């Protein structure tokens, strides 16, 4: 028996008075947070949610998120986190694809949440949390329930947690790869518990540590490495729903933050923030920090060195995917760090490299520092159970227990891995994954678009930006602004292309496949 909610429950038992969550001037102890999660689980049970049901969670980094997340788990259900930037179309797709029976959302995103909810009849209940807990969310649709009223449905802060099996699915995280529509990676209770325990050890976290949580909790990085690992270790999580460098530095100073985790663009913003010394006590901030973790993309070596010098803290880089819970490798403290490397496989996990014929690559030859470039494959306790209701897609990425990541890397003589490129065409925009085919398929629904190819282009701030190359239908005309406005209707803000280039034709192979590598600015 194993339930991921044990991470919160055990700390509530061991450190009931310890502060678990800070949000602005509000604080929740472990005992209070666990009691609220129990009340949420009671509410779900009264609704008829049963073990194995799916409950979607569309919430930014607010106290509502862990309350609902662990409440769903306690009820024996599966959490399906949604990006808060989803449009109504995207909400409807994910609700239907995951078979969600309920959706929990934040009021600020009600329009898209409700718009999608209305399109999926099997999803029976929408729980809405208002920004001001003192003002209940009111709506004339009887399927909508205010978050706090929902907590009070049971009237009891006690709940007998459903005893799930270790290989039952705890969380479904959606990812697209390059195969079109998003698909749900099923992560078991064992996957998630093991990754949280090891993440806490890798970050050298202890009871009383204060983590700045500005990575979205609906993504695997923030969810596992910060929230689950932090609660397991008895840490305090101080929440920042929307990252800005001044807000982050302000919280670091106010709450004495000791652990920070972010994507490279966050490190760039913190390091580059002008007049920081005039606004903040940078000596205090630097003296409190003992660990910084980077993931989501390769951190430029020069930025790593500059940040470490200014903040006097080592940045530990890791690697993983939604399908690997997410951490698969890490630069561990007990061994030398190698800037630019994603480190070594974590305990209990194996990494290797394979060629295009799926043959394992040998270690570097005599006199060579690195292996040849190959695709990273992973096996071990971190690998997902499979994609939800997609056995064919699962079979495509799994070979003899090895998960094929689609990322290309080389390995040095010490066993450290270095990412070289992405085999997949995924665009990494400011830490968010954008999948070209999804954007292309949506653009093809525009009445004037005949053909389209989407790719990433370099961007100094975000790493990559989304660009669409479009061939219009004969006899039609359109502007870039017109296409962008169309995209805003059906695509989340981080997905739609900021660059539009119209072409009379696109370069293709003899078989009609678009040659994206030949698409360059004219």
513 within domain boundaries: yes
Q: In a 10 Å sphere around its CB, with 0-12 CB exposed, 13-18 middle and 19+ buried, how is residue 461 labelled?
A: exposed
| Domain span including residue 438 | 427-518
293 within domain boundaries: no
Same domain, residue pair 374 and 513: no
Q: Please state the pTM of the whole predicted model.
A: 0.87
Choose one of 145, 166, 187: the last residue of a domain: 187
Instruction: Kindly give, in sequence order, each residue whose CB lies less than 8 Å from that of residue 140, ignoring residues fewer than 6 positions away.
Output: none
Same domain, residue pair 435 and 410: no
16 within domain boundaries: no
Tokens of 174: 């959606």
335 within domain boundaries: no
Choose one of 138, 171, 187: the last residue of a domain: 187
Greatest Cα-to-Cα distance within the chain, rounded to the nearest angstrom: 73
Same domain, residue pair 47 and 176: yes
Measured distance between the N- and C-terminal CA atoms of the chain, rounded to whole angstroms? 60
Same domain, residue pair 397 and 496: no
CATH value at residue 484: 3.30.300.30
pLDDT the model gives residue 137? 95
**pLDDT of the chain, 522 residues: tens digit per residue:** 999 999 999 999 999 999 999 999 999 999 999 999 999 999 999 999 999 999 999 999 999 999 999 999 999 999 999 999 999 999 999 999 999 999 999 999 999 999 999 999 999 999 999 998 889 999 999 999 999 999 998 778 999 999 999 999 999 999 864 446 899 999 999 999 999 999 999 988 889 999 999 999 999 999 999 999 999 999 999 999 999 999 999 999 999 999 999 988 899 889 989 899 999 999 999 999 999 999 877 787 888 888 999 999 999 999 999 999 999 999 987 888 898 899 999 999 999 999 989 999 999 999 999 999 899 999 999 999 999 999 999 999 999 899 999 988 999 999 999 988 666 677 889 988 787 878 987 998 999 998 898 999 999 889 999 999 999 998 999 999 999 999 999 999 999 999 999 999 888 754 446 788 788 876
Same domain, residue pair 98 and 180: yes
CATH value at residue 47: 3.40.50.980
Same domain, residue pair 380 and 439: no
Query: What is the three-class DSSP state of 164?
Result: coil
What's the number of domains the chain is made of?
3
| CA atoms of 261 and 229, how far apart (whole Å) | 12
Tokens of 421: 């490129």
Q: Are 488 and 520 in contact (CB under 8 A)?
A: no
Q: Are 39 and 30 in contact (CB under 8 A)?
A: no
pLDDT the model gives residue 522? 62
Report CA Rg, the chain: 23
Same domain, residue pair 178 and 35: yes
Same domain, residue pair 432 and 419: no
Give 470's Cβ-side CA count (13 Å radius): 31
């Amino acid at each position: 028996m194993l339930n991921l909610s044990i991470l919160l429950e055990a700390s509530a038992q061991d450190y009931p008075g310890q502060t678990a969550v800070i949000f602005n001037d509000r604080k929740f102890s472990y005992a209070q947070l666990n009691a609220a999660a129990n009340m949420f689980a009671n509410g779900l049970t009264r609704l008829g949610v049963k073990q194995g049901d799916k409950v979607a969670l569309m919430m930014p980094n607010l106290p509502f998120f862990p309350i609902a997340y662990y409440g769903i788990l306690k009820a024996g259900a599966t959490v399906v986190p949604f990006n808060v930037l989803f449009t109504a179309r995207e909400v409807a797709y994910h609700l239907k694809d995951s078979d969600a029976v309920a959706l929990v959302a934040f009021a600020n995103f009600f329009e898209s949440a409700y718009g999608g909810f209305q399109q999926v009849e099997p999803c029976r209940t929408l729980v809405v949390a208002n920004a001001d807990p003192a003002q209940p969310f009111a709506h004339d649709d009887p399927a909508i329930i205010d978050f706090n009223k929902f907590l009070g449905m049971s009237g009891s802060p006690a709940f007998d947690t459903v005893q799930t099996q270790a290989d039952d699915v705890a969380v479904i995280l959606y990812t697209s790869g390059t195969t079109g529509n998003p698909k749900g990676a099923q992560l078991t209770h064992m996957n998630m518990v093991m990754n949280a325990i090891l993440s806490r050890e890798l970050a050298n976290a202890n009871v009383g540590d204060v983590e700045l949580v500005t990575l979205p909790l609906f993504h695997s990085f923030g969810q596992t490495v910060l929230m689950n690992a932090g609660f397991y270790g008895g840490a305090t999580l101080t929440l920042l729903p929307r990252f800005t460098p001044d807000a982050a530095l302000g919280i670091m100073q106010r709450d004495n933050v000791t652990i920070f985790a972010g994507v490279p663009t966050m490190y760039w913003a913190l390091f580059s923030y002008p007049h920081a010394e005039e606004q903040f006590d940078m000596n205090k901030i630097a003296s409190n920090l003992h660990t910084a973790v980077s993931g989501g993309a390769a951190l430029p070596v020069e930025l790593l060195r500059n940040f470490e010098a200014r903040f006097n803290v080592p940045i530990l880089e890791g690697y993983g995917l939604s399908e690997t819970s997410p951490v698969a490798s890490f630069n561990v403290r007990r061994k030398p760090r190698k800037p630019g490397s994603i480190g070594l496989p974590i305990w209990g996990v194996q990494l290797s490299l394979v060629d295009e014929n799926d043959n394992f690559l040998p270690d570097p030859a005599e006199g060579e520092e690195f292996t040849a470039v190959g695709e990273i494959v992973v096996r071990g306790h971190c690998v997902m159970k499979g994609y939800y209701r997609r056995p064919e897609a699962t079979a495509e990425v799994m070979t003899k227990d090895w998960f094929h990541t689609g990322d290309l890397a080389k390995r040095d003589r010490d066993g450290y891995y270095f990412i070289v490129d992405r085999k997949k065409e995924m665009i990494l925009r400011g830490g968010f994954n954008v999948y070209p085919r999804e954007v292309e398929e949506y653009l093809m629904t525009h009445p004037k678009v005949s053909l389209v190819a989407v790719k990433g282009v370099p961007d100094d701030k975000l790493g990559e930006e989304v660009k669409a190359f479009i061939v219009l239908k004969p006899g039609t005309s359109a502007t870039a602004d017109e296409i962008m406005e169309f995209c805003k209707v059906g695509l989340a803000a981080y997905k739609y292309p900021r660059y539009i280039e119209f072409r009379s034709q696109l370069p293709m192979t003899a078989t009609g496949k678009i040659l994206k590598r030949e698409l360059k600015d004219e």
